[in-house]
Amino acid sequence: MNLKRLLLSFFIVFSIFVSAQNKIVINTDLGKETISKHIYGHFSEHLGTCIYGGYWVGENSDIPNTAGIRNDVVDALKEIGIPNLRWPGGCFADEYHWMDGIGPRSERPTMINTHWGGVTEDNSFGTHEFLELCQQLETEPVICGNLGSGSVQEMSQWVEYLNSNNVSPMTDLRKANGKEEPWGVKYWGVGNENWGCGGSMTAEYYTNEMRRYSTFTKNYGDKRLYEVAGGPNGADYHWMETLMKSGNPGRSFQGVSLHYYTVCHSWNQKGSATVFDESEYFTTMKKTLFMDELLEKHIRIMDKYDPRNRVGLIVDEWGNWHDVEPGTNPGFLYQQNTLRDALVASVNLDLFNKYARRVKMANIAQTVNVLQAMILTKDDEIVRTPSYYVFKMYQVHHDATLLPSAVVSENYTFEDENIPAISVTSSKAANGKIHLTISNLNPNKDLQITCELRGMEKVEFEEGSIITGDKINSYNDFGKDEQVKLSSFNDVKVKGNVVTVNLPSKSVAMLKLK
């Protein structure tokens, strides 16, 4: 009898899915994984005008600032609640020597930023300035150490300088530079892209070096370090296998990084950020969805060697990489940001949330004026980009409980290729409210989507918001009204525990339910 009921239930569920083209079933009473707020992290490198002109203008600037850091940028970023900020790179990290960036600014030595434009770096923005920025942002610092061209002693002393309260030369040096109490920085990257710009190392060589560096980066007081090993580039599964097999996971490192950028065409000719057709839009979405396969396969390797789930997957560089804007320095990676970028952001964040059991941090590249930025600055003006508004919308998922969801989506078809038209995250906040974010990737068609909330007899719709634009390449620019922003959304009907949403083409929407 029980078997008959089970089969009957299966066929009922199956028939519902067959009859509904776009349907989401949310199990509101089965959530167990937490979506770490650190998935919504950011990345700022000494690259182009991300630091200088983006954050840092100096105390004597006419641009309103606090301790040399722009007030308008800090205020805007606090609106989206950034949980962490990774610095100083990127490729720059493995040529950065932290002692050049402390002490009186007039006495700091200069260097050439060989990776990004060959410009002179005057080191006026260093460790103290970065941690002042993090304090103003009320965010957690993530420091990437120099394994490529630095030394074990150099990284060990940096940790001591920031975290030790013992009587020691590094503690005395920090106090002499004006900081009596240690900052207690938890998150440390042990090198960056050491398969490439961080040293062109093999997986085997890097794994040995990482273990050596980790041995000499010490815990001070009750602050336990969370060390992130330099992980693979995209689909380099051999690198992940080597690191997890031989790197002493959970002890030498507590996280492993993964880098993957969405590039529409090729690394030599990436394509314009603003001038593109539907073919390029479709290709961008398809390549973004490859992140799903990457996460699944890398996590499978991690599960093999770390079945206790002690090591987090840290996607600390991701996002769209387009050609630079015409007339700008090619080494500064300045690109505009359109509705297409907003949808790429929503899809990636949905995928990180999907794998929240293992993905514990992610950092979009980059926060200000570089690649898929949240903010663009020009003199005393700032622009909030479409991607900024996705991060503002998705704050509802910070540290919420991931609700298991089954999604049936019609395809978005272009020529002879298909991708799912719908991307989804559903979560439950500590106050019991349920938040559902849904993206419609089809640029040509509005979708009607039925959402069934299992485990609830009755649902109430409280409010909604939406991000969309007139065109897939709509963007926000200086001196003009915003073309892409957050707006109120209420094209929602509720009957019992079923919510029906009419979602416009090329849009991201958020529903708050109870």
pLDDT, tens digit (0-9, with 9 covering 90-100), for 100-119 = 999 999 999 999 999 999 99
pLDDT, tens only, 16-54: 444 458 999 999 999 999 999 999 999 999 999 999 999
pLDDT at 222: 86
Average pLDDT over all residues of the chain: 95
pLDDT, tens only, 241-253: 999 999 999 999 9
In whole angstroms, give the CA distance from residue 273 to residue 335: 6
Tell whether the torsion through CA atoms of 281, 283, 289 and 295 is positive or negative: negative
For domain 19-32+403-513, say whether CATH 3.20.20.370 is its number: no
pLDDT above 70: percentage of residues in the chain: 96
Can you spell out the DSSP letters for 354-379? HTTTTEEEEEEE-SBSSSS-SEEEET
pLDDT, tens only, 444-487: 999 999 999 999 999 999 999 999 999 999 999 999 999 999 99
pLDDT at 1: 42
Q: Which residue is associated with the tokens 């993957």?
A: 260
pLDDT at residue 12 is higher than 50: no
pLDDT at 221: 86
pLDDT, tens only, 63-88: 999 999 999 999 999 999 999 999 99
Name the percent of the chain in helix, strand, coil, to the closest 5: 30, 30, 40
pLDDT at residue 263 is higher than 70: yes
pLDDT at residue 341 is higher than 80: yes
pLDDT at residue 7 is higher than 90: no
Give every CB contact of residue 467 below 8 A, 6+ residues apart in sequence. 339, 342, 386, 389, 390, 393, 484, 485, 486, 487, 507, 508, 509
In the predicted model, what is the mean pLDDT of residues 169-183?
97
Q: Where are the domains of the chain?
A: 19-32+403-513, 37-398
Neighbour count for residue 397 (Cβ, 10 Å): 27
Q: Are 477 and 385 in contact (CB under 8 A)?
A: no
Neighbour count for residue 457 (Cβ, 10 Å): 7
Neighbour count for residue 251 (Cβ, 10 Å): 13
- pTM score of the predicted model: 0.94
pLDDT, tens only, 381-430: 999 999 999 999 999 999 999 999 999 999 999 999 999 999 999 999 99
More confidently predicted of 13 and 295: 295
pLDDT at 420: 97
Q: Which CATH superfamily is domain 37-398 in?
A: Glycosidases (3.20.20.80)
pLDDT at 3: 53
In the predicted model, what is the mean pLDDT of residues 247-273?
96
Catalytic residues: 193, 317
Low-confidence winner among 1-10, 129-138, 288-297, 304-313 (lowest mean pLDDT): 1-10
Phi, psi of 190 (to 5 degrees): -95, 75
Query: What does the block give as tokens for 380?
Result: 């005393």
